[in-house]
Amino acid sequence: MESLYNFTSYELREKLFKKKVSSEEVVKSIYERIEEKEEKIKAFLYLCKKEEVLEKARRVDKKIALGEEVGKLAGIPVGIKDNMCVKGIPATGGSKILKNFIPPYNATVIEKLLQEDVIIMGKLNCDEFAMGSSNENSACYPVRNPWDLNRVPGGSSGGSAASVAASEVILSLGSDTGGSIRLPASFCGIVGIKPTYGRVSRYGLIAFASSLDQIGPLSKDVRDGALMLEVISGYDRRDSTSVNMEVPPYLSLLEEDVKGLKVGIPEELTGDGIDEDIRKRLSEAVVLFEKLGVICETVSLPTLSYALPVYYIISSSEASSNLARFDGVRYGYRDFTGEDIFSMYKKTRGKGFGPEVKRRIMLGTYALSAGYYDACYLKAQKVRTLLKRDFERVFKDFDALLSPVAPTTAFLIGEKIKDPLKMYLTDICTIPVNLAGLPSISVPAGLIKGLPVGLQITGRIFEESTILRLAYSFEQNSGYHTVSVKYSRQKPEESNY
Amino acid sequence: MLTLSEVEYVASLACLELTEEEKKIFSQQLGEILDFFRQLDILDTEGIEPAFHSIPLKNVFRNDIKGNSIEHEKALSNAPQREGEYFKIPKIIGGGE
């Protein structure tokens, strides 16, 4: 019999509701898989105690057995990126400065998942405070790419992507400020969704850049992503930027025909900076979409070329302000060697933050400081307006945009970590989307030299259902989503490490 | 390049104690990154409004009704140091610069 960890949540849901399997069996299978894989992959920062989790699974099984109503994700093992608060279990955000922090409350997304009876397996590794593109900035240990252990899984939601790709969980939550869901989804061969800004509550997410951060699902296929997105979306009065708007039934809209939709391919994201193999894969995707009756045309958004500096100015500025709360007073790490409060602050922050976080705090503080505010920060916000206008213009004629997710497939651990600017360039295709608040998905587009690659589909604000539909028809007609399932079915000795 | 004293100034604004080694690395790295940012200078943004938000947002108001907040003990449960019902911190008066 097929191991239970190989299935999607949608498939498991059917089996659970029909009482063909129990949640207890699913959870046991997941723990076996973690036992087998985790030592090499390092996707978890905190794994919940097996007996306690099994007890929760049995409670779901009992509800199902008694014919009681259960949630949309009842009994499904899920992992949570460590920058979200789950009551009673540690949340470090991948940082030393939050080493002993145990949240006394749940993030809204966690409340929503628990309402649907999910089984939380633990907290997943990430770049410190979600700053990074490779997961090498985790204060604990880097995550390794399940496809090649010498390579990065992408960041910052590296643990969220690697755990789903290696079937250590069925679904996971990540967060995306400049590509942190889509990039690791692409590098690990799975689906990652960055919802429209305001679609999902940020309450209980450790803030990085508040005008850009958004929580979203990572999954083995588009259907699973749509299911989880449906669960976590919606207005929350505890996040004043969350939008009070009805959440469409994403799952039931998936199969609608894509014929007649118009898709633009931004020429700024298909230039020389993108690997030839990836550009080729994009052209093949265009051919497939055209066969399905989608109209594909090249478009130009000239300001896309300036998105990277705009992003790093704005996100670092917001981070420098958000991270001021880590001062050693109310929670987390404190250095006790200082004699007065100011030296306590400085020593705590100097020792508690890692190099990349300090670099961004420094950049942001510089950009916001007197004399540079207008030339640096305000200038970036103005260019952001130009970028938004560029998107608004093309979205008058096009329903979605198609592009690569990243210029390359997964790179080697250590390859870029010494050169911050080189690392930042990894995010060139994903960043513009966050600056404009748009919904976007990374969907598998096969393998290049044995490594997965994703395709990015971006839509108008609050039109997640359109990009889900396009991604679903691409997946169903290309069959690429089965690639990661195939990977997880390999015996360890057969796999490529 | 940022000068060492510029790095020290920004670090003090940010309340970060940096080692001598970090200051050296940052003066070079931050300089390179800031140079990279300067490509924005060629864009004409005269008369353009800054976009502080990606989507249209309005101020959110609510009625001033007393609600439940986190219990005292829970709020203090993560404190590095406490005394009674308070967070304990090093002395403020006489310190600083």
Query: Do the Cβ atoms of A341 and B22 come within 8 Å?
Result: no
pLDDT given for residue B54 in this prediction: 87
Cα-based distances in Å from A93 to A51, A102, A208 = 25, 11, 10
pLDDT digits (tens, 9 = 90+) for B78-90: 999 999 999 999 9
The answer to whether the beta carbons of residues A485 and A478 sit under 8 Å apart is no
Across the interface, whether the CB atoms of B91 and A339 are under 8 A apart is answered yes
pLDDT at position A484 is: 67
B32 at A interface, C-beta within 8 A: yes
User: Across the interface, which of A330, A359, A438 has its CB nearest the CB of B87?
Assistant: A330
Task: Quote the tokens at residue A67.
Answer: 């014919």
CATH code for the domain in which residue A434 is found: 3.90.1300.10
Instruction: Specify the pTM.
Output: 0.96
Q: List pLDDT tens digits, range A396-438.
A: 999 999 999 999 999 999 999 999 999 999 999 999 999 999 9
Q: Which residues of A touch B91 (CB under 8 A)?
A: 339-341
pLDDT of residue A486: 67
Q: How far apart are CA A155 and CA B81, in angstroms?
A: 34
pLDDT of residue A436: 98
Q: Does residue A182 lie within any of the structural domains?
A: yes
Ranges of chain A whose pLDDT falls below 70: 484-497
With CB atoms and an 8 Å threshold, state whether B91 touches A363: no
Instruction: Note the Cα B97 to chain centre separation in Å.
Output: 19
B37 vs A312: CB contact, 8 Å cut-off?
Answer: yes
The residue extents of the domains of chain B are 4-40
Shortest Cα distance from A42 to chain B (angstroms)? 27
Compute the nearest-CA separation of A16 from chain B (Å). 37
Structure tokens at A170: 């069925």
Residue A153 maps to a domain: yes
Distance CA A30, CA A82 (A): 19
Structural domains in chain A (count) = 1
B17 part of contact set with chain A, CB < 8 Å: yes
State the complex-level ipTM: 0.94
Fold of B4-40: Histone, subunit A (1.10.20)
- When CB atoms are compared, the residue of B40, B57, B95 closest to A339 is B95
Chain A's closest residue to B15, CA to CA, is A346
A329-370 pLDDT, tens digit each = 999 999 999 889 999 999 999 999 999 999 999 999 999 998
Confidence category of residue B59, pLDDT binned at 50, 70, 90? confident
Residue A297 placed within a domain: no
A78 in any annotated domain: yes
**B36, B43, B55 ranked by CB distance to A383: nearest:** B43
Q: Can A160 be counted among the known catalytic residues?
A: no
DSSP string, A263-321: EEEEGGGSSTTS-HHHHHHHHHHHHHHHHTT-EEEEE--GGGGGHHHHHHHHHHHHHHH
Cα gap A52→A34, rounded to integer Å? 16
pLDDT band for position B57 (cuts 50, 70, 90)? confident
**Do residues A135 and A354 touch, judged by C-beta distance below 8 A?**
no
Structural domain harbouring A38: 4-256+428-494
Q: Which of A306, A386, A461 sits opposite B39 (nearest CB)?
A: A306
For residue A197, the chain B residues in CB contact (below 8 A) are: 54-55
In a domain, A154, yes or no: yes
